């Protein structure tokens, strides 16, 4: 909508948008309404939060443990690596879903 308004203003349209006519607005037959993966992005965010909380719990448990600083450092390094891998998998899953939705939209027309 923003781009449409901008384009109308560039063309010199004297009345690009009229709020008084919003109630009779019609959607172009080629327009598409979509949440653009909003639900999937929210799910990915929750998955990342869950993964990060596991890492935080590990960190807290190690702080209270009697393990040597070297061992704690090693365990945390592995945990951090695992967390990054898990985030990467979550991002890949999200991208796959977004790509699938985009492709489905193309096939619909």
pLDDT in tens, the chain (109 residues): 667 767 767 776 666 566 566 566 666 666 666 666 778 889 999 999 999 999 999 999 998 999 999 999 999 999 999 999 999 999 999 999 888 877 876 666 5
Residue with tokens 């909380």, as numbered in its chain: 53
What pTM was estimated for this model as a whole?
A: 0.60
Q: Centre a 10 Å sphere on the Cβ of residue 82 and count the other Cβ atoms it contains.
A: 14
User: Can you give the length of the chain in residues?
Assistant: 109
* Strand (E) or helix (H) holding 8: helix 2-10
């Amino acid at each position: 909508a923003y781009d449409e308004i901008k384009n109308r203003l560039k063309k010199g349209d004297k009345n690009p948008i009229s709020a008084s006519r919003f109630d009779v607005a019609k959607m172009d037959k080629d327009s598409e309404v979509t949440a653009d993966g909003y639900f999937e992005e929210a799910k990915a965010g929750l998955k990342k939060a869950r993964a990060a909380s596991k890492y935080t719990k590990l960190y807290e448990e190690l702080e209270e443990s009697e393990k040597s600083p070297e061992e704690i450092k090693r365990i945390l390094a592995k945990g951090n690596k695992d967390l990054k891998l898990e985030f990467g998998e979550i991002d890949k899953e999200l991208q796959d879903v977004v790509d699938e939705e985009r492709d489905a939209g193309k096939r619909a027309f």
